[in-house]
Chain A
Amino acid sequence: MTRSTVRVELPAHLRALAQVGGEVALEIEGAVTIRTVLNALEASYPMLRGTIRDHDTKARRPFLRFFACQEDLSHDSPDAPLPDAVATGAEPLIVLGAIAGG
């Protein structure tokens, strides 16, 4: 089984919550998908559970999007392979908060 180091860029509020300064590096066994990356993220940082996706349904919270390699991956299947550049660590998976609100 392949092992990948994936970089994840979190919104500032979630970096503060997880007490991380910059990008997060996660070791992923097997397929690199939104689901496996978020599983690894929540395993390493349990305080992030429920903040990016629903605890039970795993649905993405509506004010957050997933970007990588200049593409919006938010509406792709969570089980679709992420781009090779993400799987190799060349590019981060970006969790982006909507630029909205008061």
Chain B
Amino acid sequence: MSTVRVLVGTHKGAFILTSDGKRKHWNVAGPHFGGFDIYHLKGSPVDPNRIYASQTSGWFGQLIQRSNDGGETWEPVENKFTYDGVPGTHQWYDGTAHPWEFKRVWHLEPSLTDPDTVYAGAEDAALFRSNDGAKSWQEISGLRKHGSGPRWQPGAGGMCLHTVILDPSDPNRIFIAISAAGAFRTDDGGETWLPINQGLHSQYIPDPKADVGHCVHHIAMHPSRPGVLFMQKHWDVMRSDNAGDTWQEVSGNLPSDFGFVIDVHAHEPETIYVVPIKSDSEHFPPDGKLRVYRSRTGGNEWEPLTKGLPQQDCFVNVLRDAMAVDSLDDCGVYFGTTGGQVYASADAGDSWEPIVRDLPAVLSVEVQTIP
């Protein structure tokens, strides 16, 4: 029987939740790296026992940890991230020029084909790659040098590169997203990058239709249709049917088009999930009801999924990397909250149960389905 392994990064450590394919009984292991912010951990699709973790703190800076046994033991690997050349400046919150400074790694994306190759999305925004199992890192500097960098600015959480999507049909195509610069794509393995923000409308920037400056919160793609992208933006749920060249809003009947997470069903590429959040500044579910919304039509028409989720007095948030799906026949959907709950659905969202209720604030959730 398959094993499902849920990798949870929290404000105070990493936790690994495991179950068999029934997904009824869970073992909770951790904390690993107790006391540290674990922004993200993710396993290699080629070798599921190879897991990379981003461990960071205000005291000791950035650390990268690597496991070769499914998260039972870990070893620190290279934590030196050096920008290529003179980093230059981006916009600060007040619009003044601010020097680029490395702060932390938000997202680790292992290669689809090589367990020793992994990408790191950093704050201040940059994309790094390691080809030696995270023993060394090199910046893919074509992104930061593409020309619009001086106009990028931080979101409330910092100027983070938080989303990295590798195209399974084209090893030279990578999508990334930055708060608050927008989405970018390379078609040549990272040498050159194109902003892919046409169709986004953000009334909080001087030109709401500018080529960069949009606060993209997360992007999701189904591997069978790499040209179709779904985006949760700081207000507006969007979709693109041409690999990001243009976007259309598909917020439809959502109670709030603000949110952080977005994900796609493992077997139904038109079935997508979001968690609407009230904003600006409040950042909790509308009406104190924690509801996942599912669209089976690729957007516009949404249904609330509430069975098993708190429907009163709930004021948690669900952060951008804190939703994932498994690939079992009955697709499992998982998300974590800033209140420390990790909820799981073994029936594509129809019903939910908490795997664990009282972890530190959850920063990220990833799922491995192991045959």
A23-81 CB contacts (< 8 Å) to partner B: 47, 49-52, 55-56, 61, 63-64
The interface residues of chain A, by DSSP majority, are classed as loop
A98 within 8 A of B: yes
Residue in contact with A61 in the complex, picked from B36, B59, B76, B79, CB distance below 8 Å: B59
Stretch at the interface among A1-9, A10-18, A83-91: A10-18
B140 within 8 A of A: no
Inter-chain CA distance A61–B80, complex, in Å, is 14
- Do A50 and B62 have beta carbons less than 8 Å apart? yes
- Do B59 and A97 have beta carbons less than 8 Å apart? yes
Inter-chain CA distance A47–B62, complex, in Å, is 11
**Which B residues touch A55, using CB under 8 A?**
80, 82
How far, in Å, is A48 (CB) from chain B's closest CB? 9
**Which A residues touch B80, using CB under 8 A?**
49-50, 55
**Which A residues touch B58, using CB under 8 A?**
63, 101
How far, in Å, is B128 (CB) from chain A's closest CB? 14
B60 within 8 A of A: yes
Question: In this complex, which of A14, A49, A51, A63 has the most chain B Cβ atoms within 10 angstroms of its Cβ?
Answer: A51
- Do A17 and B76 have beta carbons less than 8 Å apart? yes
Q: For chain A, which range describes its interface: under 10, 10 to 19, 20 to 34, or 35 or more residues? A: 10 to 19
**Which B residues touch A101, using CB under 8 A?**
58-59
Nearest residue, chain B, Cβ from A46: B76
B61 within 8 A of A: yes
Inter-chain CA distance A63–B63, complex, in Å, is 16
Contact code string B1-44 (vs A, CB < 8 Å = 1, else 0):
00000000000000000000000000000000001100000000
**Which B residues touch A17, using CB under 8 A?**
60, 63, 76
Inter-chain CA distance A51–B60, complex, in Å, is 4
**Which A residues touch B36, using CB under 8 A?**
13
Contact code string B71-112 (vs A, CB < 8 Å = 1, else 0):
000001001101000000000000000000000000000000
**Which A residues touch B63, using CB under 8 A?**
17, 47, 50-51
How far, in Å, is B47 (CB) from chain A's closest CB? 23
- Do A61 and B61 have beta carbons less than 8 Å apart? yes
**Which A residues touch B82, using CB under 8 A?**
55-56
**Which B residues touch A14, using CB under 8 A?**
60
- Do A50 and B61 have beta carbons less than 8 Å apart? yes
- Do A13 and B35 have beta carbons less than 8 Å apart? yes
- Chain A residues with CB under 8 Å of chain B are 11, 13-14, 17, 47, 49-52, 55-56, 61, 63-64, 97-98, 101
- The 3 A-B pairs at the shortest CB distance, nearest first, are namely A51-B60, A47-B76, A63-B59
| Sample of 23 A–B contacts (CB below 8 Å) | A13-B57, A13-B59, A17-B63, A17-B76, A47-B76, A49-B79, A49-B80, A50-B62, A50-B79, A51-B61, A51-B63, A51-B79, A52-B60, A55-B82, A61-B60, A63-B58, A63-B59, A64-B59, A64-B60, A97-B59, A97-B60, A98-B59, A101-B59
- Chain B residues with CB under 8 Å of chain A are 35-36, 57-63, 76, 79-80, 82
